[in-house]
Amino acid sequence: MRRYLGAFLSIVIVAAIGVSVVLLLGAAAKPLPNLNGADQGTSDTPQGTLKHVSLTLQTFPMDPYEDPDWIASNVTGKSDNGIAFPSAIGDNPDWVKYWPTTNLVVPAHALVTVTIENYDSATPLLNPYYAVPRGISGQLTVDGQAMAEEDPGAVSHTFTIHGIPSADQPYLFVSVPVLGVNSCDPTIPPDQQQGCIPVDDAGMPAHPAVTTFSFITGAPGHYIWQCFDPCGSGFNGFGGPMSTKGYMSGTLTVE
Q: Is 237 exposed, middle or buried (0-12, 13-18, 19+ CB in 10 A)?
A: middle
**Domain-by-domain residue ranges, the chain?**
1-30, 33-254
Where is 128: in which H helix or E strand?
none
> Do residues 111 and 51 make contact, with C-beta atoms less than 8 angstroms apart?
yes
Percent of the chain past pLDDT 90, that is, above it, reads 66
Q: Which long-range contacts (CB under 8 A, 24 or more apart) does 69-78 make?
A: 69/200, 69/201, 69/202, 70/200, 70/202, 70/204
Task: Note the pTM of the prediction, 2 decimals.
Answer: 0.84
Band of pLDDT at residue 115, cut at 50, 70 and 90: very high
Residues in the chain: 255
C-alpha 121/C-alpha 40 separation (Å) is: 31
User: What are the CB-based long-range contacts (under 8 Å, 24+) for 145-152?
Assistant: 147/179, 149/177, 150/177, 150/179, 152/124, 152/125, 152/128
Q: Using one digit for the tens of pLDDT, what is the confidence trace for 178-198?
A: 999 988 887 787 777 778 888
Is the pLDDT assigned to residue 3 strictly greater than 70?
Answer: no
* 4-53 pLDDT tens trace: 444 433 433 333 333 333 333 333 446 899 999 999 999 999 989 999 99
Q: What is the pLDDT of residues 54-110, one digit of tens each?
A: 999 999 999 999 999 999 999 999 988 888 999 999 899 999 999 999 999 999 999
> What is the Cα–Cα distance from 254 to 30, expressed in whole angstroms?
23
Per-residue pLDDT reduced to its tens digit, 146-177:
999 999 999 999 999 998 777 889 999 999 99
C-alpha angle 67-233-62 in degrees, rounded to nearest 5: 10
Q: Is residue 140 over pLDDT 70?
A: yes
* pLDDT band at 234; cut points 50, 70, 90: confident
The pLDDT value given to residue 102: 97
Q: What Cα–Cα distance (Å) separates residue 249 from each residue in 2, 62, 79, 95, 185? A: 47, 15, 21, 13, 29
What pLDDT score does 190 carry?
Answer: 72
91 neighbors 62 (Cβ within 8 angstroms): no
Tell me, what's the pLDDT at 27?
Answer: 37
pLDDT of residue 20: 36
Do 221 and 172 touch, CB atoms closer than 8 A? yes
